[in-house]
Amino acid sequence: MKKNLLGNSDLELSEIGFGTWAIGGGDWGMGWGDQHEPDSVASILEGLESGINWIDTAHAYGFGVAEIAVGKAIREYGSSDVIVATKCGVLPEKDNKPTRFISRKTILEEVEGSLKRLGRDYIDLYQIHWPNPPENLIEAWETLQELKKAGKIRWAGLCNCWEDDLKTLHGIAPITSNQPMYSMLDRSIEKEVLPWCELSNTGVIVYSPMHSGILTGKVSQQWLDDLPPNDWRKHKTDHPVVSPLHSKDGLQAFLILQEELRSFAYQRSITVGQLAVCWSLSHSGVTSSNVGARKKGQIVEPVRAVDSALSEARQKEIMSYILKFENKQKNG
User: 25 pLDDT band (50/70/90 cuts)?
Assistant: very high
Length of the chain: 332
Q: Is residue 267 part of a domain?
A: no
Question: Residue 30 carries which DSSP code?
Answer: S
Determine if the peptide bond prior to 195 is cis (ω within 30°).
Answer: no
Catalytic residue among 61, 126, 182, 321: 61
Q: Is residue 268 part of a domain?
A: no
Q: What is the CATH number of the domain that holds 208?
A: 3.20.20.100
User: 24 pLDDT band (50/70/90 cuts)?
Assistant: very high
Q: Is residue 252 part of a domain?
A: no
Q: Is residue 145 part of a domain?
A: yes
Say if residue 241's pLDDT is above 80: yes
272-280 vs 312-330: helix axis angle to the nearest 10?
A: 100
What local confidence, expressed as pLDDT, does residue 285 receive?
A: 96
Q: Is residue 171 part of a domain?
A: yes
Give the number of other CB atoms < 10 A from CB of residue 239. 13
78: domain range? 3-212+281-309
User: 47 pLDDT band (50/70/90 cuts)?
Assistant: very high
What local confidence, expressed as pLDDT, does residue 261 receive?
A: 97
CB 90 within 8 A of CB 130: yes
Please indicate whether residue 61 is annotated as part of the active site: yes
Write down the mean pLDDT value for the chain. Answer: 96
Q: Is residue 314 part of a domain?
A: no
Question: Residue 245 carries which DSSP code?
Answer: G
Domain count across the chain: 1
Say if residue 331's pLDDT is above 90: no
The model's pLDDT over 137-170, given as tens digits with 9 standing for 90+, comes to 999 999 999 999 999 999 999 999 999 999 999 9
Say if residue 307's pLDDT is above 90: no
Q: Which of 18, 27, 128 is nearest to 74 (CA)?
A: 18
